Structure 1
C-alpha cells in the first residue's frame, strides 16, 4: 500500500501541532477498512505522541490542532470546553444574504435527528447552540444557485454539524452539502464550501498567544 505524502504542519513544537486539513480527509478513523486513512493516523506516523483534540467534518477543510501527549491533550481540550479558543470559519451559502458590518446571531438548540442519524436538527429540547455570522460579499452565481453569499461564521458552542444545521435553519444551506442539501445544492459546488480559516488560543505551556489563519481554496478559485 502506498503511504500518503508526509504532513507539513502550519505549526509544530514540542507540545502541539496545527494542520490545514484538506476537504475529504477524516480527522479520525471511521468504520470500515476504506475509512482508516485520516489526519490523526497520518500525524501519528510522523509524531507518535500526537493526539486528537477536536474534529472537523470530513467535507470541511481548515485548521486543526493536535496535542503531543496526554497532558497537552487535557489542557487543550479544557480550553475548547471553556470557550477559550477563537474559531472562525468561511462558507458559501445558497441565496442572497444582507451585507452588513455587524454580526448577526443564530441561537437555536440542536439535538440528534435519531431516525436519520448522523443528522442533527433544531429542537427546543436540544442543547444550547449559538453561531455568529456576517455576510461579506455576494458570490458569483452558478447554474444550481442563482444567488450565493460568502459568509464568516463563529460558533460559540461546538455541537455536531452546528454550522451546517444553523445555516440551513435560516434558509441558507452551505453549497455542496451532500448531507443536508438536495441535489441542486450539491450540484452548486464540487465540495462542501466550509473552511476553518482562523484558530487562536493561549499556548498551555509557553503562555504565548497563538493565532493561525489560512484562507479557503474556494476563495482563490472562484470566478
Structure 2
C-alpha cells in the first residue's frame, strides 16, 4: 500500500510554489522527486491534480501519495571494496581504477553499487533502482574517494552541498606536456559534444565549469598537478586540461592518440573529499593515497627527467 500524507497550508506559507513548500516540510524528499510525483499526478490540491509552479493558498489541502519503493533489480555481489568510513547515513569508499560506479546498459555487474548492496542494508532511493545511494560519481578509470548516501535524508543534504559547490574535491592528475605557470584557473563551460554525443566538450551553451589547478612536480615531458573542482561537470578535469593543451596521460577519449605508457585509462585520482555530515552538521574530510600504478609511473618519470 502506498503511503498518503496530507498537509493543510497555513497563512505563513501562502504564495510559495507547491514543490518548494513540500520540499521544505517533507524532510526526506527532494524538490526534484516532488516534481516527479506531481508529473505522475500523485500530488493533489483539494482533490485536483496540480503543477509544480502552483502558488499555494491558505487552507489548501494537499495530499501526497508516496509509492512503495521499487524493488531493486540489481544483484548484490561479494566484491572487495575499501570502506574508509561508515555510519547510519553515509558510507565513504576508496574506489579502485577500473570499477564502474553504477550499472548501466550492457554493464549490470561488477559495479560499486553491486558491491555496496552486499555490504549495506539500505541505500538511498532518490536516484532510482540503478543508482541507489549515488550522490556523485567518478569515472570508471578514475580512482579515489566517493561518498554514498544510505538514506534519502542524507542524499538530499549531500546533493544540496554539491549543488552549492561547498564540497571539497581535490584530484591528482598527470598531464601531457610541461605546464609553465605554477597555478591557474580554467573557467570554461562544458556540455555534450555537438557531434560525438558520448564525449563532453567546451561549448558556448554548456554549464559553467571551473577548475583550479596547481603544479606539484614537473618532469621532462609531463606535469603532476593538483586539481580542485569548484563545479563538478562530467569529465570536467579531463576536458579542461585538454582544452589548455595538456590532456591527461592515458586518457583514451581526450588524450593523445599515441600513448607512451600502457595505462588502463587516465592518470587521475580523487584524493580528498570534504563535506558537512548531513546528520551531525560537522565537517568531515577523507583522503586516499595514490594507487600503486600511479606512484610507479611518477617514479619512472623522475628517473627519466
TM-score, normalised to structure 1, is: 0.89
The separation in 1 between residues aligned to 2:262 and 2:281, in whole angstroms, is 41
C-alpha distance in 2 between matches for 1:6 and 1:69? 22
In structure 2, the CA distance between the partners of 1:172 and 1:35, relative to structure 1 (3 Å rule), is: farther
- In the alignment, which residue of structure 1 is the partner of 2:121? 48
RMSD: 1.9
Structure of greater Rg: 2
- Residue aligning to 1:18: 92
Deviation at 1:209, TM superposition (A): 1.5
Question: Which consecutive unaligned segments of at least 5 residues does structure 2 have?
Answer: 1-76, 124-132, 300-305
Matched residue SS, 1:165? helix
Residue among 147, 153, 162 paired with 1:80? 162
Q: Match of 1:107? A: 187
Contact 2:79–2:110, Cα closer than 8 Å, also in 1: no
Please show how residues 164-183 of structure 1 align to structure 2 within 5 Å. Answer: 164-183=238-257
Query: In 1, are the aligned partners of 2:178 and 2:222 still within 8 Å (CA)?
Result: yes
How far apart are the structure 1 equivalents of 2:80 and 2:241? 35
Confirm whether residue 149 of structure 1 aligns to residue 237 of structure 2: no
1:144-192 superposed Cα distances (whole Å, 9 cap, x missing partner): xxx011000011111111110100000000000011223313x434131
**1:125 deviation in Å?**
2.1
Runs (5+) with no aligned partner, structure 1:
142-146
Equivalences for 1:135-214 in 2 at 5 Å? 135-139=215-219, 147-185=221-259, 187-191=260-264, 192-214=266-288
Paired residue for 1:60, among 139, 142, 147?
A: 142
Secondary structure of the residue aligned to 1:10 is strand
Structure 1 SS opposite 2:258 = helix
Q: Call closer, same or farther: CA 1:99–1:188 in 2, change over 3 Å.
A: farther
Give the CA deviation at 1:4: 4.3
Does the CA-based 8 Å contact 1:30-1:36 persist in structure 2?
no
Q: Does 1:124 align with 2:242?
A: no
Higher relative contact order (CA 8 A, sep 6+): 1
- Are 1:221 and 2:296 matched, yes or no? yes
Q: Residues 172 and 270 of structure 2 are in contact (CA less than 8 Å); yes or no, is this contact kept in structure 1?
A: yes
